[in-house]
Chains A and B, each alone.
Chain A
Amino acid sequence: MGEQLLSVGIDIGTSTTQLIFSKLHIKNVASASSVPRHEIVEKEIIYKSKIHFTPLKSKTEIDTQKAVEIIKEEYKNAGIKVTEPDTGAVIITGETARKENARAVLDALSDFSGDFVVATAGADLESVLSGKGAGTDKISKQKHSVCLNFDIGGGTTNISVFNRGTTVDTACFDIGGRLIKYDENKIITYITPKLKDIIEKENLDVHEGDNFSLEKVSRLLNIMTDVLCNVLGINESSYYSHFITNKGLSNFIKPDYITFSGGVAKALYEKEENPFAYGDIGVFLAEKIKNSEIFEQFNVVKGNETIRATVVGAGSHTTEVSGSTIYFDKSVLPVKSLPVLKIENETDFVNEYNSKISRFDLERPFAIALNGKTGISFDELKKLANSVSKSVRNLTTPVFIIFKNDMAKAFGYVLQGLCPDKKLVVIDGITLKEEDFIDIGKPASSNFLPVVVKTLLFE
């Protein structure tokens, strides 16, 4: 009775570009006499790409054409046509997201990858995806504990914290393995601006064009390791805020377990024959972390994935399924990147809607998100539908309403009765926040819709 969705994950990171395909197995988990309820019961990775270096045209520009070629080649190797995936995410992560043409690359990739749902990442989403890809959420759920994952990539370290399987906090720091690069002659070719600031302040003898010397960068590696220790409450580093990408942890809970993922984590667990092979500081940073207080004071466990954590997260953990009793007009699906108008106080719908609507471009569809009262009566439902119909009457776009609680089908019928000419999509079982974006896929043969919820695009 199960159904499958083919999901693709593409991650264009600071240093590597990767792709995976996974099968999401979806089943009706409700008993025979109940209203159906579909859930993703298994996520099976069916193809992992090679790990490619992210093609760059210059220090500030991604080579779009080459990136597209890499992805095309991997589709071919996997034997999957570009139109096949039902859902998935293309994400640009780490430093790459800050390149000048990041947006153009995403557009190029989403265009050629057909009709499927596309997501882009902000640092928060990236943190969550890497944690889920590493399986940290599962460890947290199984052990009923708080687990923190460090995804240490080329340009950034994404941190996610899970409490009993639920994401509770994220953070991002500009710490990674490729903040300093050198060529085959060990001549330093690149140092990130943030490290240059420290080099100046600390009066260190490390410059682009110099010979790379482990001794000379040792102080920098120590500083970065100290900042990571600081995240866990071990000592304080004066450079803590200097390295913050967008935000540190908002509410520190001492984790019971720590996992590491990302390219640098790979070096934590596997011995590198030649630490200079990658032309960066990744292996040396891993060594410092391994010898730090983190391994002394915390219970470090191995996750499912290291270098592939983010792409596995993007491919397997971005898609949710809506409730199974919903109301929709198939002709308007799929839709991508609908901005969310969140109504907090449903009893005052019209006023709240009016005060928020000015932020939206009325030419383009957007999603109205509501919690919906549990155990709502039919009269209350009608009243709410009345308010909504008044507010959306003048919209020329299809209307999208997303509830958290189970009421979408009933609400859809009532609302359609009030505005018979509108194309409606009313779904439930999805929790949205103000400033989220949502993609809604095409219906599978059963009555649910695949949904991808995204946090901010390019912060």
Chain B
Amino acid sequence: MQENELKAIVEEMVSKILSNDPHKEIPLEKTVKTTVNNKLHSTEISNETLPDISKIDLRKQFLVDSASDKETYLALKSKTPARIGIGKAGARYKTETMLRVRADHAAAQDSVFSDVSEEFIKENNFVFVKTLCESKDEYLTRPDKGRRFSGNQLDVIRNTIPQNSKVAIVVGDGLSSAAIEANAKEIIPSIKQALSHHNIEIGKILFVKYCRVGAMDAIGEITDTDVICLLVGERPGLVTAESMSAYIAYKPKHGLPEAKRTVISNIHKGGTPPVEAGAHAAELILKMLEKKASGIDLK
């Protein structure tokens, strides 16, 4: 719409209000017509794909207009994934930043609400079990159910992990399925490799759907395993949806105080690399076997 046309409309409205004449109509038709005409010109079909904004490294993205020292700002930005140096449009985020926040938020939600795929479980020869939860909603609202198993599931666990095993690895979806799919494949062989140096072999690996950290206590209770290492998806944030934790405990049982778990958090490719975290986890496991303790008792 042309500026003078707009001006005319506004003038007309103002004069109508001022004169308080209800019969003087605004020529609505005219306005609509102009808009429609303008729009018709800009409709064109393109085969272009939009660049994936979630692929941009936030630490290197700089959106401040006319910064006096961009390089220094970037040097500071390289130290944090926080959304600083993003400029603004009036009082608001710029479009690009706004879209990225929403994209990251969507990715975080997706990783909570999606399931670890069946193919992934099959591919890695995990043995599937499920806690008492029947759906994601129940999982999110009833943490207590995410720590317990039904009778037939307990049988599967008994058949998978032999009684009095030294070490068992358990994988749980937790709050991020994406974290498991991104890291489990890398960390497990690394743990196994390091443990094999001490002649400790890992048997079959359980996969727990709708898994809370406390599920390892239930598994420890019925198998009497010395050390259980639970790999579980962390609550995703806006920085990454792929962060995983390893909770490791000596003789976990129901009622185990949280302080007796040792945790390695922030396992993802931008944090502690999964391969290296695996070797570190293996050494923690060995230390627990030796000292018969975990968590704050492990000095």
Contacts of B245 on A, CB cut-off 8 Å? 33
Q: Which residues of chain A come closer than 8 Å to B193, judged between CB atoms?
A: 410, 413-414, 417
A416 at the interface (CB under 8 A from B): yes
CA distance A376 to B189 in the complex (A): 13
Q: A34-B264, A378-B190, A417-B193 are in contact. Are A410 and B275 (CB under 8 A)?
A: yes
Given A164-B72, A164-B75, A377-B275, CB of A33 within 8 Å of CB of B194: no
| 5 A-B contact pairs sorted by A residue (CB < 8 Å) | A33-B264, A375-B273, A378-B186, A378-B275, A409-B283
B213 → chain A closest CB, angstroms: 13
Contact residues of B between 149 and 199, Cβ < 8 Å to A: 185-186, 189-190, 193-194, 196-197
In the complex, A33→B263 CA distance in Å? Answer: 6
Q: Are A144 and B276 closer than 8 Å at their CB atoms?
A: no
Q: From A403, which residue of chain B is reached at the shortest CB distance?
A: B276
9 shortest A-B CB distances, which residue pairs? A375-B269, A409-B279, A410-B279, A144-B72, A413-B194, A33-B265, A410-B275, A378-B189, A35-B272
Chain B contacts for A406, CB-based, 8 A: 272-273, 276
8 Å CB interface, A393-411 against B:
405-410
Q: A413 and B197: CB pair below 8 A?
A: yes
Q: Give the distance in Å from the alpha carbon of A374 to the alpha carbon of B272 in the complex.
A: 10
Within 8 A of A (CB), among B58-84: 69, 72, 75
Interchain CA distance A164-B76 in the complex, whole Å: 10
Q: State whether B279 touches A417 (Cβ < 8 A).
A: no
Question: Could you tell me which A residues sit within 8 Å of B by CB distance?
Answer: 33-35, 144, 164, 325, 327, 374-378, 381, 405-410, 412-414, 416-417
Question: How would you classify the secondary structure of chain A's contact residues: helix, strand, loop or mixed?
Answer: loop
Known: A376-B273, A416-B197, A417-B193. A410 touches B72 (CB 8 A): no
Residues from chain A with a CB closer than 8 A to the CB of B72 are: 144, 164
Q: Is the CB of B279 within 8 A of A325?
A: yes
- Interface check B112, CB cutoff 8 A: no
Within the complex, what minimum Cβ distance (angstroms) separates B299 from chain A?
A: 12
Task: Given A144-B69, A374-B273, A378-B275, decide whether A35 and B280 contact each other with a Cβ distance below 8 A.
Answer: yes
Q: List 5 extra interface pairs beyond A35-B276, A377-B275, A378-B275, CB under 8 A.
A: A33-B264, A144-B75, A378-B189, A406-B273, A417-B196
CB distance from A168 to the nearest CB of B (A): 13
Interface hits, B61-110 → A, CB 8 Å: 69, 72, 75
B265 touches A34 (CB 8 A): yes
The residues of A that contact B189 with a CB separation of less than 8 Å are: 378
Bound state CA distance, A414 and B185, in angstroms?
16
Report which of A376, A407, A410 forms a contact with B194, defined as CB distance below 8 A: A410
Known: A35-B264, A414-B193. A377 touches B276 (CB 8 A): no
Q: Contact: A376 with B275, CB < 8 Å?
A: yes
**Contact among A374, A412, A417 for B269, CB-based, below 8 A:** A374
Interface residues of B (CB under 8 A from A): 69, 72, 75, 185-186, 189-190, 193-194, 196-197, 245, 263-266, 269, 271-273, 275-280, 282-283
Give the CA-CA distance A360 to B203 in the complex, in Å.
45
Instruction: Give Cα A375 to B190, complex, Å.
Output: 14
Task: Find chain B residues with CB under 8 A from A34 CB.
Answer: 264-266, 271-272
Cβ B194 vs Cβ A377 within 8 A: no
In the bound complex, do residue A381 and residue B275 qualify as a contact, i.e. CB atoms below 8 Å apart?
Answer: yes
Residues of A within 8 Å of B185, CB to CB, are: 377-378
In chain B, what residue has the closest Cβ to A412? B279
A410 to B194, CA, bound (A): 7
Question: Could you tell me the distance between the alpha carbons of A407 and B272 in the complex, rounded to whole angstroms?
Answer: 9
Residues of B within 8 A of A378 (CB): 185-186, 189-190, 275, 278
Question: Which residues of A lie under 8 Å from residue B264 when comparing CB positions?
Answer: 33-35
Question: A410 near B263 (CB under 8 angstroms)?
Answer: no
Cα(A348)–Cα(B263), bound, Å = 37
Q: Please, which residue of chain A has its CB at the minimum distance from the CB of B72?
A: A144
With contacts A33-B264, A34-B264, A377-B275 taken as known, whether A409 is within 8 angstroms of B196 at the C-beta atoms is no
Given contacts A33-B265, A377-B186, contact A407 B276 (CB under 8 A): yes
Q: CB-CB < 8 A to A375: which residues of B?
A: 269, 273
B64 → chain A closest CB, angstroms? 16
Interface centre among A33, A378, A405, A417 (most CB of B within 10 A): A378
Q: With A325-B280, A378-B186, A378-B190 in contact, do A407 and B266 touch (Cβ < 8 Å)?
A: no
CA distance A381 to B278 in the complex (A): 13
Which residues of the other chain, B, contact A377 by a CB distance below 8 angstroms? 185-186, 275
A306–B269 Cα gap in the complex (Å)? 44
Are B263 and A407 interface neighbours, CB within 8 A? no
Distance in angstroms between the alpha carbons of A325 and B274 in the assembled complex: 13
A410 near B69 with CB under 8 A, answer no
Which residue of chain B is the closest to A34 with respect to CB atoms?
A: B266
List of A residues within 8 angstroms of B280 by Cβ: 35, 325, 409
The CA-CA distance from A33 to B271 in the complex, in Å, is: 12
Minimum C-beta distance from A137 to chain B (A): 14
Residues of B with C-beta under 8 A to A374 = 269, 273
A324 closest partner in B (C-beta): B280
Q: Give A409's nearest chain B residue, CB to CB.
A: B279
Least distance between B262 CB and chain A CB atoms (Å): 9
Q: What's the nearest-Cβ distance from chain B to residue A422, in Å?
A: 13
In whole angstroms, what is the CA distance A33 to B264 when docked? 5
List the A side residues contacting B196 at CB < 8 Å.
417
In the complex, chain A residues whose CB is within 8 Å of the CB of B271:
34
Name the residue on B nearest A380 (C-beta).
B275
Are the CB atoms of A410 and B197 closer together than 8 Å?
no
Q: Which residues of chain A come closer than 8 Å to B277, judged between CB atoms?
A: 35
Question: In the docked arrangement, what's the CA distance between A406 and B277, Å?
Answer: 10
Please indicate the chain A residues that have their CB under 8 angstroms from the CB of B283 in the complex: 409
Q: Which residues of A contact B278 (CB under 8 A)?
A: 378, 410
Q: How far is the CB of A37 from chain B (nearest CB, A)?
A: 9
Q: Which of A164, A409, A416 contacts B276 (CB 8 A)?
A: A409
CB distance from B206 to the nearest CB of A (A): 20
- A407 to B190: give the CA distance in the assembly, Å: 11
Cα-based distance from A121 to B69 in the complex (angstroms): 36
